[in-house]
Amino acid sequence: MISDSRRVFAQLFRVGVLFALTRSSAFATAFNFERDTFAFQNATVLKYKNGRPTLERRSAVGDPSNQYTRACFVMTRTAMQFHKFARFDPDGAPLNDKELAARIRKVARRAPWHEALPANQRINFPGYSNLRDMSKARRQVFQENIGSGFATYFRPGNFRMFFQHSPKYQEKTHAHLDAALARGDLFVGYLSTYPRLSINHAVLVYARKPTPLGNAIERYRVYDPNHAEAPRELTWSARDNFFTYQKDIDFVGGFTRVYQVYGKWLQ
């Protein structure tokens, strides 16, 4: 009887391991900034100086183009969807614009909170090695087919910024962030300082930086659609129970609230 029980236990253990490996195989490669992000960037509608909007006119030389704006939500969502549901075949012939647009829309219409697909079920994009290469070569096709940035202003999940302000809620959000990264998933965060309007933005958190033992500050690598050139940094203070975000041209830096989006339906 004991030996039979051991055999059953061993069989169940093997099934559990196989199930875990099957679940994790879809994320065979970790998210890589140089491979899995867009080569173009979202631009702010207004010009900023020291993190604050100004009425100055944009310079044709020193300021980034603002022809593609209000797209931070759709760009972070689509980067997540391509990481989960797309594959690339650099040896294949590139698609024409019509077929490429159709396949981009097919990826963008999949629920981003669903589990990643195995390689043989992913939507194929021939002619390019990765998302960054393809978005550099076919920028306009992407911008016209990943969705409306204006429509994201009316997302139901955004309205949490009006009433979910407590440190306890941010502590829960931090736990969800760590849980997502631990299972090999990604985390899209909506950053807000409402009722102040110093930031109203979406970023994709894809990795946690090593944290020295006893350090109360945790640091995360972030893909920010406003910065195609390099990753940004989000931090969490366990002592104060709040997030801070890196300073740049369009944000003064420091405290921000984070709300998870695209983690489930209507979020």
For the entire predicted model, the pTM comes to 0.84
pLDDT at 72: 95
How far apart CA 151 and CA 134 sit, in angstroms, is 25
Instruction: Report the distance separating Cα 123 and Cα 121, nearest Å.
Output: 7
What was the pLDDT predicted at 147?
93
pLDDT (0 to 100) of residue 51: 64
Cα 184 to chain centroid, rounded: 13
Boundary-marking domain end, from 126, 151, 176: 151
Shared domain for 112 and 165, answered yes or no, is: no
| 161 and 230 inside one domain | yes
User: Tens digit of pLDDT per residue, the chain (267 long)?
Assistant: 444 444 433 343 333 433 443 343 344 479 999 999 999 999 887 766 666 666 666 555 555 566 899 999 999 999 999 999 999 999 999 999 999 999 999 999 999 999 999 999 999 999 999 999 999 999 999 999 999 887 887 888 888 888 889 999 999 999 999 999 999 999 999 999 999 888 999 999 999 999 887 788 999 999 999 999 999 999 999 999 999 999 988 898 999 999 999 999 988
Q: Are residues 44 and 63 in the same domain?
A: yes
Q: Is 208 helix (H, G, I), strand (E, B) or coil?
A: strand
Per-residue pLDDT, 148: 87
Question: Within this chain, do residues 140 and 47 fall inside the same structural domain, yes or no?
Answer: yes
Q: Nearest CA to 64 among 191, 197, 226?
A: 226
Q: How distant is the alpha carbon of residue 103 from its chain centre?
A: 20
Whether residue 142 sits in one domain with residue 52: yes
Same domain? For 237 and 257 the reply is yes
Work out how many domains the chain is built from and give that number: 2
